[in-house]
Chains A and B, each alone.
Chain A
Amino acid sequence: MAGTSLFSSTASFVGKTMTITELEARKLRHEPIELLSRAVQPALWLVIFGQVFTRVPGIPTGGLPYISFLTPGILAQSALFIAIFYGIAIIWERDLGITYKFLASPTPREALVLGKALSAGLRALVQGVIIYALAALLGVALDLHPLNLLGVIAAILLGATVFSTFSLIIAALVKTREAFMGISQVLIFPLFFASNAIYPTALMPAWLQVIARLNPLSYQVDAIRALMLVGGRSAFGLGVDFAVLLAVSVALVIVGARLYPRVAV
């Protein structure tokens, strides 16, 4: 009997999580413009930044053209930018009153947090499709093996979970839009630049390499770089990449679920 109830409570948890994600997906369907407008920024990075830096000789990209090296970094970056501002939506929903009703419903807090995180992942996946198309146009050699694509999808979802839940935790702590925007603006560039997204960490001074090594974004970029590109290689090993992303996701969802009710107080 214990097995049955474990199964049914797991099924219920997954169902509730999916319901929260479905809610966000339905919103996106009503507002497709938002998704397209968000694709402008990564396109500019690839087309302008990528084209210029391709001309810089001597960047140790492990034998890849720089534009290829950059593409996974920009994919991870666009997911990061979507996810890190997710907290503002949490505060906005609190101000509207939506949050109160969800918290007073029999939905596990973990399902609320994870459902939101996966919906950030869903938005990031749409960005991914656009970036794959752009990269193909720019002549990046993409590995389209189904297993590689699945791996990239997993890395995008995990990265979005890490950063959107991180954002939710900040929102639950600071509670106001003004303070949240301030903190996010301060965090986003260190997260992005202190990583292997747009240049190899080998170019960094030692202290910065340490920070990049602690930054979950580096593991996401490393996994995507290995899986997305023909001739891409993982610096840390795919097992390490996914283990780190998964462990950080689980830890942040647990912390986020404890703190989320605080936005309603």
Chain B
Amino acid sequence: MAILETWSLTRRFGALVAVDRFTVAVQAGEVFGLVGPNGAGKTTVIKMLVTLLRPTSGTAQVAGYDIVRQAAQVRRVIGYVPQALSADATLTGYENLLIFAKLYDIPRAERAERIRSALELMGLTDAAHKLVRTYSGGMIRRLEIAQSMLHRPPVLFLDEPTVGLDPVARQSVWGRLEEMRRDYGTTIVLTTHYMEEADSLCTRVAIMHLGRVAAIGSPAQLKAEVGEGATLDQVFVHFTGGELEEGGGYREAERTRRTSRRLG
């Protein structure tokens, strides 16, 4: 059964068509990757699915709820980790979790246990009462994932979860995501421009180019389509034309760099 389905989801910004008739169906328990160069429309798709942005046309359902007409219900059944760092650096890790436990209506009696187990799963128990300002980049990302999972949402959206992380921190984030999928059956939708990340994490990948889906399938299928022994990098170049990035612009570049700098 599809837990997430979109029908010709489209978003324009003035004359620019950021997302053009995006249609996919994601099954429960999948790890679905959106890959593509900067400006391909990945983040815009995610923002529409998490109800931050209204589609210009087309529609989508998350866990059976319409993203426009039932936005409030959608917000209850999703977790979301934005690309930019979203944990509050001026609070402790524990406080970041406590606030979200309250906002997600986790009953008072269960809060302490949920927070404890989230900290443990993400390997943050020892750092719980330190200010997030003192955390490493990998710790911050794991805290953000913990925040987004406190209410055990059936669908989790992650926008560039490992951008700016070193290989070790990246591995640890992948490991935790894999554990969550196994333990809670969480459906995960993530964007990335790291092909190895898509290759090792995702059950299926949609390659986006200029707002459209250029190809869709499991990493193995896509590689086979391009040719014997192809890497996912080659698949990517094949479907996106391999041209230099054009989209994104100053604001996106500024944000990515700031995120990378803070992750240090």
Contacts and interface: CB of A to CB of B under 8 A. Distances in A.
Interface of A: 12, 15-16, 19, 22-23, 26-27, 30-31, 95-98, 100-107, 261, 264-265
Nearest to A30: B90
Contact of A19 (B52, B53, B88, B103): B103
B105 interface: yes
Contacts of B16: none
Contacts of A31: 90
A265 B75 contact: no
Nearest to A265: B53
Given A95-B255, A100-B52, A101-B147, A107 B85 contact: no
Contacts of A95: 84, 255, 258
Where chain A touches its partner, the secondary structure class is helix
Contact of A101 (B53, B82, B105): B82
Given A104-B78, A106-B103, A107-B103, A98 B131 contact: no
Where chain B touches its partner, the secondary structure class is mixed
Given A16-B103, A22-B99, A101 B80 contact: yes
B86 A100 contact: yes
Interface of B: 47, 50-53, 72, 75-76, 78, 80-88, 90-91, 95, 99-100, 102-105, 131, 144, 147-148, 255, 258-259
Residue of B72, B84, B131 with most partner-chain A CB within 10 A: B84
Given A12-B105, A23-B91, A105 B84 contact: no
Contacts of A102: 103
B103 A97 contact: no
Contact of B88 (A22, A98, A107, A261): A98
23 contacts: A16-B103, A23-B88, A27-B90, A27-B91, A95-B84, A96-B86, A97-B84, A97-B86, A98-B87, A100-B47, A100-B52, A100-B80, A100-B86, A101-B80, A101-B81, A101-B86, A101-B147, A104-B51, A104-B80, A106-B72, A106-B76, A261-B52, A264-B53
Given A95-B84, A97-B85, 12 more contacts: A15-B102, A23-B91, A23-B95, A27-B88, A95-B258, A96-B84, A97-B82, A104-B78, A106-B103, A107-B103, A261-B52, A264-B47
